[in-house]
Amino acid sequence: MSRPTRHLLPLSLACAALLPGCASLNTPSPEEIARLPVVTYGQKGPEDGNFVLRYPAASKLPIQVSVQGSLLAQSDRGELQVQLKQDVYLYRGQLSFDGKTWSRDSDRVGGRFVISLPGFKDNRPDALSPGEMSAEFNLK
């Protein structure tokens, strides 16, 4: 088996939440976005999916995690709860903290993913260390 690798990826909150929106080539204007309905996470949005998604500050946001595969005799999964420090609004690769001033999501939020197998720490063999799967989200 090859050594595990740590992948550090530029990450935006919007791409994590709305991957199809990141592929959009057309950047909507703030005026176009202002005409859309705002739907708070946890509420039902319009069927066409054309709405601004609001993640409210301090609300519990669930993140499903799992480890599975044909190599494993036992899989596992769980749910983590995270909270944002402030409101975040998302629409097609655009991000806002006030619902009015918009910019590209990747210009405002970045981060990284780390994945390693049990028995490795800092990309070196360590037969006592647990595996790691982590995500980090940071303001730019």
| Residue pLDDT, tens place only, 38-76 | 999 999 999 999 999 999 999 999 999 999 999 999 999
Q: Residue 15 pLDDT > 60, yes or no?
A: no
pLDDT at residue number 126 = 95
pLDDT at residue number 20 = 47
- d(CA 19, CA 23) in angstroms, rounded, equals 7
pLDDT at residue number 51 = 98
pLDDT at residue number 96 = 98
pLDDT at residue number 79 = 97
Q: What is the pLDDT of residues 72-122, one digit of tens each?
A: 999 999 999 999 999 999 999 999 999 999 999 999 999 999 998 899 988
Q: Residue 13 pLDDT > 90, yes or no?
A: no
Q: Residue 24 pLDDT > 60, yes or no?
A: no
Burial 94-121 (b: 16+ CB within 10 A, else e): bbbbeeeebeebbebbbbeeeebeeebe
- d(CA 94, CA 30) in angstroms, rounded, equals 10
For residue 128, how many other CB atoms are within 10 A of its CB? 7
Average pLDDT over residues 24-36: 87
